[in-house]
Amino acid sequence: MKRFNKKYALAFFLLSLAVSNFNTLFAQDQRNDKNFELNKNLDLFYNIVRELDQFYVDSIKPDKLIMTGVDAMLSSLDPYTNFIPETDMDDFKFMTTGEYGGIGSLIGVKDGVIFISEPYEGLPASKSGLRTGDVILSINGVDMKGKKVDDASSLLKGEANTDVVLKVKRYGSGQIEELKIRREKIQINSIAYADLLDSNVGYIQISSFTDKTGDEFKAAFQDLKKRGMESLVIDLRGNGGGVMEEAIKVVNYFVPKGEDVVSTRGKLRQWDKVYKTTLEPLDSVIPLAILVDQGSASASEIVSGALQDLDRAVIIGNRTFGKGLVQSARGIGYNGNIKLTTAKYYTPSGRCVQAIDYSRRNADGSVGEIPDSLTQVFKTKNGRDVRDGGGITPDIKTTLTPAPNILFYLVNDFLVFDFANQYAFEHPQIEMPKQFELSDEDYNKFKEYVKSKNFTYDKQSEKMLAKLKEVAKFEGYLDGSENEFAALEAKLTHDVDRSLDKFKPEISQYLASEILRRYYYQKGSSAYQLKHDQELPEAINILKDQAKYNQILSGKDTK
């Protein structure tokens, strides 16, 4: 019996060894096959470019041709995997740090003319007296007529403590001036606005996550605490994300040390990592509400997802974008980088919020969102149900009134911009943002201004009706229905005056916020917009109702 067992054991060992060797050889063969395919296709690509360069009927630009191929290759993966050439590294750095050397102003182009669209408060452009609407005629002697924004931007940027000379035409007066402006290291604050609202509710708006967001948020939070803050609204609406580590810092301010915040998993297991809170929180009990919308993505979803999973904050608004992919930048020579997706991230409950599966494409190359039927249920710390595969679903969903179609065209045609400039030129001073409202008289002046420009715009209802009429005619239903169609067409007749009256509240509020930018910069515009915010009252109400707040986070909400 013992001999049988030894033979059996020996046979099993030899079989296991054989299987192990087979698996090793099979894996090696797979790697060899993959390497062969990779080298073969790289060789083919090189040969194709060489043949085109030598024999194509017209001369080609190899660098442009190859970059077209590179861009097409990367775009077939996902929108976030990109090649960053040396010439674009400054822009990439600005995205991650919020820093650059320059004068501190947004610029735009209209009818081939470069103009100042918004100088930042306290930075060289505003300190030198540049105002919104001023036209830039030349930069360091280079004529700007017909130039693109990128051309002007590259000339305005440079090393801090160096000078740039601008020739400008002042808005309104038309006076020509030459200004020598000393560039500075420009740091765009990721905290767009922070203030103490009624009932001692704090408000902090994070516009993006740069490598200084954590410190900036901490400073704003501590200032509001000194002013008597008892609860806090964190506004992440429209925040497309940024540096993951800074999102983790923000979460750490409100949850105990040692809590899971986010984990990443990719192809290389040695890169998989669980990120935990490493410091004691600033405040582990202050009631929190977080505002999100479809523009909240990536790092914003890490903050809202982690605080939701840990039952630390009530999430309010609309479902977030659903970007659960992590990018890393890797140098590839010639001072270029590739920013590529290396992992997916998972919130503390274990869910991935990625909404689109780029690995599965339709026959036409398009991709779709992950259907609800394929999503899974996960549990928060208190046992509440949350789902993966489609962003962060708020605890309290809100319904917004969409902006009217006409407003898009008024902005796109620079009518709001130009009228706001004219208003600022004619009014040296106005009320503070929290008191300012556009008067009926001023709105009527805006209406007359719009009509004087022979403004027209596309109305979707008219387009849809025209399409319906074509289909009805094709299918033979138009005969006998002409009167009905004519009556509907009469009701949908393009009437700018009527539309300006119908959507006066929405247009007036947007126009007022643009006017305030001319006097009080971004902070003034934000302070005004909060007065008319449709979702902020919901956040304030839930923070004031402690019983309801606790009920939601405990998972015992009965609504």
> Is pLDDT at 524 greater than 70 in this prediction?
yes
Q: Which positions are catalytic?
A: 298, 309, 323
The CA distance from 19 to 116, in Å, is 71
Q: Identify which has the larger pLDDT, 455 or 512.
A: 512
Q: Which of 239, 246, 247, 187 is nearest to 211 (CA)?
A: 246
CA diameter of the chain = 109
Predicted local distance difference test score (pLDDT) of residue 56: 92
Predicted local distance difference test score (pLDDT) of residue 489: 62
Residue type, 170: R
116 and 134 Cβ atoms separated by less than 8 Å = yes
Residue type, 480: G
> Is pLDDT at 17 greater than 90 in this prediction?
no
> Is pLDDT at 269 greater than 90 in this prediction?
no
Contact residues for 316 (Cβ-Cβ < 8 A; gap 6+): 289, 290, 291, 292, 394, 395, 396, 398, 535, 538, 539, 542
> Is pLDDT at 298 greater than 60 in this prediction?
yes
**DSSP secondary structure letter of residue 403:** P
Cα-to-chain-centroid distance, residue 443: 32
pLDDT-based confidence at 3, cuts 50/70/90? very low
**β-bridge pairing 377-379 and 288-292:** unpaired
- Range 492-521 average pLDDT: 91
Residue count of the chain, please give it.
Answer: 559
> Is pLDDT at 1 greater than 80 in this prediction?
no
Predicted local distance difference test score (pLDDT) of residue 493: 57
Collapse the DSSP code of 107 into the 3-class scheme (helix H, G, I; strand E, B; otherwise coil) and give the result: strand
The CA distance from 16 to 486, in Å, is 83
Residue type, 429: Q
Burial class (CB in 10 A: 0-12, 13-18, 19+), 4: exposed
Neighbours of 349 (CB within 10 A): 21
- Range 429-451 average pLDDT: 96
200: left (phi over 0), alpha (psi -120 to 50) or beta: left
Predicted local distance difference test score (pLDDT) of residue 220: 98
Q: What angle do CA 292, 370, 241 make, to 5 degrees?
A: 35
> Is pLDDT at 4 greater than 70 in this prediction?
no
> Is pLDDT at 9 greater than 70 in this prediction?
no
Question: What confidence tens digit (pLDDT) does each residue in 77-129 have?
Answer: 999 999 988 777 777 777 777 788 999 999 999 999 999 999 999 999 999 99
Predicted local distance difference test score (pLDDT) of residue 361: 76
Q: Which of 540, 551, 553 is nearest to 291 (CA)?
A: 540
Lowest mean pLDDT among 78-87, 432-441, 482-491: 482-491
**pTM, two decimal places:** 0.85
The percent of residues above 70 in pLDDT, for the chain, comes to 89
- Range 217-236 average pLDDT: 98
Predicted local distance difference test score (pLDDT) of residue 383: 96
> Is pLDDT at 270 greater than 60 in this prediction?
yes
Question: What confidence tens digit (pLDDT) does each residue in 124-155 have?
Answer: 999 999 999 999 999 999 999 999 999 999 99
Predicted local distance difference test score (pLDDT) of residue 218: 98
Lowest mean pLDDT among 18-22, 178-182, 340-344: 18-22
Question: What confidence tens digit (pLDDT) does each residue in 161-174 have?
Answer: 999 999 999 999 99
> Is pLDDT at 264 greater than 80 in this prediction?
yes
> Is pLDDT at 15 greater than 50 in this prediction?
no
The CA distance from 506 to 249, in Å, is 37
Q: Which of 294, 302, 288 is nearest to 351 (CA)?
A: 302
Lowest mean pLDDT among 16-20, 298-302, 398-402, 546-550: 16-20
> Is pLDDT at 13 greater than 80 in this prediction?
no
Q: Which of 406, 369, 361 is nearest to 502 (CA)?
A: 406
Lowest mean pLDDT among 382-396, 470-484, 537-551: 470-484
Predicted local distance difference test score (pLDDT) of residue 86: 78
Question: What confidence tens digit (pLDDT) does each residue in 309-356 have?
Answer: 999 999 999 999 999 999 988 888 888 899 999 999 999 999 999 998
500 and 406 Cβ atoms separated by less than 8 Å = yes
> Is pLDDT at 538 greater than 80 in this prediction?
yes
Please give the mean pLDDT across all residues of the chain.
Answer: 89
The percent of residues above 90 in pLDDT, for the chain, comes to 67
- Share in percent of the chain as helix, strand, coil (round to 5): 45, 20, 35
Q: Which of 486, 522, 427, 555 is nearest to 118 (CA)?
A: 522
